[in-house]
Each structure stands twice: as structure tokens, then as C-alpha cells.
Chains A and B, each alone.
Chain A
Amino acid sequence: MAADPKMRFLVVDDFSTMRRIVRNLLKELGFTNVDEAEDGAIALQKLQGGGFEFVVTDWNMPNMDGLTLLQSIRATPNLKHLPVLMITAEAKKENIIAAAQSGASGYIVKPFTAGTLSEKLNKIFEKMGQA
């Protein structure tokens, strides 16, 4: 895989357990540079601080949900290039379409497996490599 193992991830989820699971899975895949945020508002603040290269976010969160976070990222010139992978329990087709139209780089529906996360990350890295 071409991805830099030092790549800095931001994992956004309001449940600490899910943040921890995603963090552990990323570690298994070789990515140890991971920070966490518990909702979209905190995430956006951290992202504006700079230094992040990848965002993994839940959808349903207090204060600012994942879709709004995604839209905010795409609307911010210095953040809009960031890959955003959504990992969410929201499984309506409307949700998936809304996420795709808002510029999500990938969509994983919970419950998910380590294999799915790895596959989607690789797919995103491939696209980034081509760009």
C-alpha cells in the first residue's frame, strides 16, 4: 500500500468505544498517528488547527452531525481536499446518496469488519494516488 504510515487520522464519533475500535483497527493496518473528536464541531476545530490528512466520521452525533461536518470540510478551502470516510449506522439509501453527493470519499455501514475498513481505505488511497 502506498499510503504513508505516518498519515494523521482524525476519528470522529460520539461513542468512545467506537473511537477506540476504529483507532485499534487503524493501528492494525499500520496507522498509529490517530487523534479523536467526539462530535463534528470539535472535529472541525481540530481540523482547522491543521495537520490532518484523513477523516473517519460517524453520522449521528450531537452538536454537529457527520454530514454537516463533511459539508463544512468540503466548503472550507484549506480542508476540502481531505478524504472523509463515513462509518455509520444510518442505512437509508437517502443517507448514502446524500453523503456521496456531499463529497464523502467512502461509506461504511455499521456493523462493519476490519476487512471492510481496510478495503475502503485502500480504495480511497488508490484514488488519491491517481489524483
Chain B
Amino acid sequence: MSANNDSDDLEALFDSIAASSVVAPEPLKSVAPDPVASSNADNDDLQALFDSVAAKAEVAPASPESADHEGGSGEGWPQQEAVFNRIGHMARALHDTLGLLGYDKLLEKTVSALPDAKDRLAYVANLTEQAACRVLNATDIANPLVDEMESGAKALGERWDQVFANRMGPAEFKQLATETRLFLNEQLPAKTRGTHAQLTEIMMAQDFQDLTGQVIKKIVALAHELESGLMSVLIEVLPETKRTEEVASLVNGPVINAEGRTDVVVNQEQVDDLLDSLGF
């Protein structure tokens, strides 16, 4: 990170920070910042520095002109100096990153787009729920129709079996022929039409995909912009040791991308294998 910054830049930054943020009750002599030393400061130091600056920011700020002095007489303020130094590094990193990469504008745009994204996601949730309900309703209507077709055909078939087994009188046969004709000409077509209508309904319920697809693409683009912007800032600002920490949780939702991960299963077979291997 900022270890390569030259002292002049840092000093200028320190000056500007000191000048813009504080008014001193008495002059403070500053030591020229040593970028290498301060970028090696560990997290605990950083935390301690933040604590100390939070406690003292109101009562003991540095004066604007103090930073002009090189080296020397700031012995009473070593803590504050280190804090300003550190904050200077961070502010510089943040500012440079955002500015150089154009993220200042981008982040501004992104933040203003977030409420819109929230509405869009609600819209997606709404449409997908509606679609799920339409499909389930359609299957609720179509299932009995199919059942009736099956049972009607089966009943007629059994009676025709009796005809072929010579176990049916002429009157019964006539009745069967009439009923079969009715079944084939009216009942069956009516039920297949009804089923067909529900299949069409199920098909049409998928129209949400077009709409949600567009909305989701926009939100993914937005999230991507936001992520890469924030990531660059974080990489600049976050101490090395903090970068690799993972959040351990048992409530993560579906795995979106399992590639390269060994801590997740991708199908039921793997669930079963895992449980078997553990003796469950």
C-alpha cells in the first residue's frame, strides 16, 4: 500500500489534513512522517490510535502552521502525530484510489442507484412469487382433469374387457357403446382442452423471466460497480492480516458458485456420501 509513497507527498497530505480538520490551542511541531514505519504498524496499534484520536480529537488538535516544521519539538504529542500520520495515509489511499480510478463519480452514482435497486429487487421477488402461484394453481386445476381421464378410460376399458370375454349382454353392450362414444367425443376432448389451457397458463407464467432477467442484469451491473469500487478501497486501506478472515456462518443460503470450493456440496449424492462417510 502506501509504503512506496515519498515523504513529500505525505507531508503535504499531513499538512492539508491538519489544516482542514483541526484548530490548535497551541502549536504542535511535527516530525516528518516515515511512511515505511507507519505502514508496518500492526492492527492493535491502529486500534489504539483510533481510540486515542477519538478521545482527544476535541481537546488537543494540532495547528495548521505546526506541520511546516521539520523534526524536533513535538515530544509531548507523539501519539497524536502517529494518528494523524496514519489517518493521512488512509485518507490519501482512499482519495487517490477513488480519484485515479474514477470511482468517486462511480460510487456517487452507485449510492444514488441503491434505493432504485431495492425497488427492483422487490419487483423481482413479487413477480417470481406470482409466477410460482400461477403455476401451482394451474397444476391444482390440471391434476384432477388428468386423473378423471385416467379413471374414465380405465373404467371403460374394464367393461370392454368384459365384452371381449363374452360376459356382456346386448343391452349392456349398447349402453357401453353409447358411453364410450360420449367419452371419446365429449368428455375426453373437454378434459384435454382444460389440461391444455393449464399447460398454456404454466408456459405463460414463465414470462416473468424476461422481466426479472432485465432487472437482475441491471442490479448485477450495479452490484459489480459497487463491489469493485469498494474492493479497491478496501484493498488499499485494510491491513494485510484482515484480508483473509472469513465469516463463518451456518446460514448462507444457496451456493451460487461452487467452483473451486471444497467446503460445499453440489448435489444430493454428495450430501448422502458425506452423511454415509460419517456413519449417519
Residue positions of A touching B, CB distance < 8 A: 17, 20-21, 24, 59-60, 65, 67, 89-98, 100, 107-110, 112, 116
Interface core residue of A20, A96, A116 (most chain B CB under 10 Å)? A96
Flag if B250 contacts A94 (CB, 8 Å): yes
**Could you list 9 A-B pairs, sorted by A, with CB under 8 Å?**
A24-B136, A59-B251, A65-B251, A67-B250, A91-B265, A92-B252, A93-B264, A94-B250, A110-B254
Flag if B254 contacts A93 (CB, 8 Å): no
Flag if A60 contacts B275 (CB, 8 Å): no
The tally of residues in B whose CB lies under 8 Å from a CB in A reads 24
Flag if B136 contacts A21 (CB, 8 Å): yes
Q: How far is the CA of A93 from the CA of B258 in the complex (A)?
A: 12
Chain B residue nearest in CB terms to A107: B271
Known: A91-B265, A93-B264, A93-B265. A17 touches B252 (CB 8 A): no
Chain A residues with CB under 8 Å of B129's CB are: 17
Known: A91-B265, A94-B250, A110-B254. A100 touches B136 (CB 8 A): no
* B interface majority secondary structure: loop
Chain B residues with CB under 8 Å of A107's CB are: 271, 275
Chain A residues with CB under 8 Å of B266's CB are: 91
Chain B residues with CB under 8 Å of A67's CB are: 250
The A/B interface has a contact count, at CB < 8 Å, of: 63
Chain A residues with CB under 8 Å of B133's CB are: 17
Closest beta carbon of chain B to A29's beta carbon, Å: 14
Contact of A98 among B132, B250, B258, B265 (CB under 8 A): B250
Closest beta carbon of chain A to B250's beta carbon, Å: 5
Contact of B278 among A65, A92, A100 (CB under 8 A): A100
Chain B residue nearest in CB terms to A20: B136
Closest beta carbon of chain B to A23's beta carbon, Å: 10
Q: How far is the CA of A93 from the CA of B273 in the complex (A)?
A: 11
Flag if B252 contacts A90 (CB, 8 Å): yes
B253 within 8 A of A: yes
Flag if B252 contacts A100 (CB, 8 Å): no
Flag if B268 contacts A116 (CB, 8 Å): yes
B139 within 8 A of A: yes
